[in-house]
Amino acid sequence: MQINRYGFIRVAAASPRLRVADCDYNREEIQRVIGQAAEQQVQIICFPELSITGYSCGDLFFQESLQREALASLQALSRFMQDKPSLNAIVGVPMRIGSSLFNMAAVISRDGILGLVPKTHVPNDREYYEKRWFTPAANLTAHSVGIGSREVPVAACGMLFETPFATFGVEICEDLWMPSPPSSHLAMQGAELLFNLSASNELVGKHLYRKSLVLQQSGRCNAAYIYASAGTGESTTDLVFSGACLIAENGSMLAESKRFSLESELIIADIDLGALRQDRLKNTNFSNDSLPSAHRVNSTLTEVATNGLLHPVPAHPFIPPAAKSDEFLSEVFNIQTHGLAKRLLHTGVKTVTIGVSGGLDSTLALLVTIKTFDILGLPRENIVGITMPGFGTTNRTYANAIALMKASGVTVKEISIVDAVKQHFNDIGHEISDESITYENSQARERTQILMDVANKIGGLVVGTGNMSELALGWATYNGDHMSMYSVNSSVPKTLVASLVRWIADTQMEESSRRILHDVLDTPFSPELLPADANGQIVQKTEHFVGPYELHDFFLHRMLRYGDGPARILFLARLAFTGRYSEEELVKWLKVFYKRFFSQQFKRSCMPDGPKVGSVNLSPRGNWRMPSDAMADLWLKELEEEVGL
């Protein structure tokens, strides 16, 4: 699997066993861990602060013997790396320059020692009295250091290492804990991967704070943050080090090490560079940095072939993990209800109409409306729920619609559209036996006309029920169910609609209503615009025509949230839906997605107002602004080329 081709890079953080001031032992263990990482196709690996000597050497750092041996071990590591073309390593080493000693990070590739990065913020407190030994980067005047036969660049203002796949920067321990970490400025200048060589001791509660710093910095910088801290083998004279290693990406934790291990620890993750770059592309302030430019160094790094992807690829990106489900779904529900509440307060409207079909979308919209009226202290009777049976309405959906409205205490209206649509067919000269698009859309538009006219009659507004997945695919009748006066589900995708209804049913409803909602959840998706079969069952199942909504929601999320192209979406879909869909099915429905998404933009260009609930939204006034006559050819061509590989 060529992960670099699809915008990923494999990184690692390691905390090796060590002996204080035993450079040979430490180098050998670092080499062993590098070999282990290379076997797992790691491309950049980070070790802890002062990992060649050990962090807790104290006044031994002043000893010339230790300084000389540390430099010799660094050179030996450089020779060891010569046959590692697909790997860069970052190690910690004390480095004497002139009459000052610096706490350095050394970046090594097959081409040798590429650069040395000094620690910017050297602590001077009771626990870390580093200024006793080390000089801050600001005091560095040299631009290079002679090591062996070559001059190695060193930069007080930071250094950027540019590989064929990603640009990375380095900071050391305390740098992260400061108000303005060097990594922030490195990120602003192009660093996508931020490595921290650390020696952070353990205190009660400190690890949670450390994790929060790493997560926040990765999110703030739209970057990956790879953190490696000293562990087993460091002196415990006064402090204990746990070997905490963390890999975070844009605010999400990808990997954590086992702390307090007596063995060397190695954690590995694949970083989604494509996603990081998309976020930076949308942030036009990201290149605005007034600090001195970092020194840039080129690093060779060859492509790797991996056995899989060490990065989560959720098949249902809109659905929260179980641990966060209550908080997430509650927020979505609150955004929907308060969006509608503001519209009602602003207009002074105290009544609404809503079409209730017995399907998932109208059910969620009704639940949102009921909650909104409860919040505003308005009687539920002011919600006029209208069920409008047509040619394809089944007993199951009709019964659920009536039962749900009655159980909820809203005003129930039943208005059959059959006679009105038949009259309309006669007016336009359409044969009722012709079950074409005209047959279907006439019913949808008749229902919308009823909702609008009843709303006018009662001085109310029409609450829309359509969801974001239908808008993406254009699976809505233009000026039919496509239109309303406020669309509460407009940024809720189909997969999330089901999760929301289930959550509301299980956490906020009485048993009688809960049974109804669970039956709605078990009903196939359908607009019910074609007649039922001989047994009264739904014939027109939406997913038979447009494809599985779980696939389309996945495609939509990857395209809009991360800007992924067809090749990358297909690559990730293969991983997310392994064993569930064949390659042929994925390609088929991805083609359908692109064709429908491009051809149906005109419906989204005039969609009604509705609240944004997540990072993906199709409002023409918000996150998605697209011409209605754009061509899909470029995307379809890329997909064909990917399949042909």
Query: Distance (Å, rounded) from C-alpha 272 to C-alpha 251?
Result: 13
Q: Could you confirm whether 119 is annotated as catalytic?
A: yes
Q: Does the residue 304 lie in any domain? A: no
Which pLDDT score, from 0 to 100, does residue 528 have? 47
| CATH code assigned at 621 | 3.40.50.620
DSSP state of 502: H
Q: Establish if 316 belongs to a structural domain.
A: no
Predicted TM-score (pTM) of this structure: 0.92
Instruction: Indicate whether 111 and 152 sit together in one domain.
Output: yes
- Are residue 61 and residue 204 in the same domain, yes or no? yes
Q: Which two tokens stand for residue 302?
A: 């060859």
In this structure, are strands 8-15 and 44-46 parallel, antiparallel, or unpaired? parallel
Q: Is residue 133 in a domain?
A: yes
Predicted pLDDT at 511: 84
Residues 135/185, Cβ–Cβ less than 8 Å: no
309 located within any domain? no
510 with 362, same domain: the answer is yes
Distances (CA, A) of 430 to 424, 439, 440, 478: 8, 8, 12, 19
Query: Distance of CA 610 to CAs 283, 333, 614, Å?
Result: 24, 13, 12
| Residue 448 lies in domain | 322-643
User: Tell me, what's the pLDDT at 317?
Assistant: 96
Number of Cβ within 10 Å of residue 368's Cβ equals 28
Catalytic residue from among 49, 130, 265, 446: 49
Residues 250 and 365 in one domain: no
- 261 in any annotated domain: yes
Question: Would you state the pLDDT for residue 527?
Answer: 52
- Is there a single domain that holds both residue 285 and residue 382? no
Mean pLDDT by 10 residues, the chain (645 residues): 95 97 98 97 98 96 97 97 96 96 97 96 80 94 92 93 97 95 95 97 93 97 97 91 96 96 96 96 78 88 93 96 93 98 98 95 97 98 97 89 95 97 96 92 96 98 96 95 96 95 91 89 64 55 80 97 97 96 96 97 96 95 93 96 86
Structure tokens at 203: 């205190």
The answer to whether residue 515 sits within a structural domain is yes
Same domain membership, residue 349 and residue 239? no
**Active-site annotation holder among 84, 119, 371, 591:** 119
DSSP string for 75-133: HHHHHHGGG-TT-EEEEEEEEEETTEEEEEEEEEETTEEEEEEE-S----SSS--GGGT
Both 110 and 217 in one domain: the answer is yes
pLDDT of residue 622: 87
What CATH number is given to the structural domain containing 228? 3.60.110.10
What's the structural domain count of the chain? 2
Strand order through the sheet with 252-256: 252-256, 245-249, 224-229, 193-198, 167-172, 159-162, 295-298
**Which residues on neighbouring strands pair with residue 104, listed in sequence order?**
93, 118
Is 49 among the residues known to form the active site? yes
Long-range contacts of residues 142-151, Cβ cutoff 8 Å, at least 24 apart: 142/97, 142/98, 145/95, 145/97, 145/116, 147/71, 147/74, 147/75, 147/113, 148/75, 150/112, 150/113
Is the same domain home to 99 and 35? yes
Of 23, 46, 57, 173, which is the active-site residue? 173
Q: Which two tokens stand for residue 179?
A: 């108000």
**What pLDDT score does 41 carry?**
97
Q: For residues 210 and 228, what is the distance between their CA atoms, to the nearest angstrom?
A: 12
**Integer Cα distance of 46 and 13 in angstroms:** 5
